[in-house]
């Protein structure tokens, strides 16, 4: 059994610990069949409510909820391997299209720094860094399930937005 004692002196630290504990628990679950935006919003609202419940101010709880909601990512199983030359060429071509969208500030431009760009097959992706304008590495990720366009998928420590074909 976990026991938390909250005093006014330790309130900020306890608030952060409790919020992180519950938000990580909520966001580590796969949200198959649930829209990632809805999953993120629900997780953010829940985390904000927890923070408010343990004594965070309204502003603090709103900021905590927003931060948690934005970082929610879909977890899809994948296998990682070195990308073939053909896959690298195909991913680079798709990354060039994304680069144009980002520069033009198009409505269809990805909202995340990292994007998962498909190779020849939509269920095999490479990761592209829109800030550095280069591929993150030379790995290809074969996904067990093709995400929907705009879904954020977790690849190790990187959350990348799937941009589709």
Q: What is the pLDDT of residues 136-148, one digit of tens each?
A: 999 999 999 888 8
The full DSSP string for 73-92 is -B---EEEEEPPHHHHHHHH
Grade residue 160 by pLDDT with cuts at 50, 70 and 90: very high
The answer to whether 59 and 90 are in contact (CB under 8 A) is: no
48 and 94 in one domain? no
Q: For position 32, what pLDDT does the model report?
A: 42
The number of angstroms, rounded, from the C-alpha of 85 to the middle of its chain's C-alpha atoms is 28
Q: What is the pLDDT of residues 63-79, one digit of tens each?
A: 777 766 655 566 778 88
In a domain, 103, yes or no: yes
In a domain, 5, yes or no: no
88 and 43 in one domain? no
Q: For position 47, what pLDDT does the model report?
A: 74
In a domain, 154, yes or no: yes
The answer to whether 31 and 63 are in contact (CB under 8 A) is: no
Residues above pLDDT 90, as percent of the chain: 28
Crossing angle for the helix pair 36-53 and 58-70, to the nearest 10 degrees: 150
99 and 152 in one domain? yes
Number of domains in the chain: 2
154 and 87 in one domain? yes
Q: Is 120 helix (H, G, I), strand (E, B) or coil?
A: coil
Q: Model pTM greater than 0.95?
A: no
Q: For position 165, what pLDDT does the model report?
A: 75
Beta bridge partners of 23: none
Question: What integer best gives the mean pLDDT of the chain?
Answer: 77
Pick the residue with more confidence: 32 or 80?
A: 80
Look up the domain containing 58 and give its range. 11-70
Q: What is the pLDDT of residues 104-135, one digit of tens each?
A: 887 777 888 999 999 988 789 999 999 999 99
Cα dihedral across residues 98, 104, 110, 114: positive or negative: positive
Distance CA 1, CA 3 (A): 6
Distance CA 126, CA 28 (A): 23
């Amino acid at each position: 059994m976990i026991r938390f004692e909250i005093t006014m002196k330790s309130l900020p630290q306890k608030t952060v610990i409790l919020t992180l504990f519950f938000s990580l628990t909520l966001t580590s679950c796969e949200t198959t069949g649930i829209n990632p935006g809805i999953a993120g919003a629900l997780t953010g609202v829940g985390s904000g409510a927890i923070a408010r419940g343990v004594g965070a101010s309204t502003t603090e709880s709103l900021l905590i909820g927003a931060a948690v909601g934005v970082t929610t990512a879909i977890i899809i199983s994948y296998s990682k391997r070195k990308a073939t030359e053909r896959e690298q060429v195909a991913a680079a071509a798709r990354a060039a299209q994304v680069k144009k969208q980002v520069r033009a500030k198009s409505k269809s431009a990805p909202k995340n720094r990292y994007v998962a760009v498909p190779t020849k097959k939509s269920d095999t992706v490479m990761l592209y860094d829109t800030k550095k304008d280069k591929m993150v590495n030379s790995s290809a990720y074969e996904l067990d399930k093709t995400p929907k366009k705009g879904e954020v998928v977790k690849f190790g420590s990187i959350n990348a937005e799937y941009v589709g074909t």
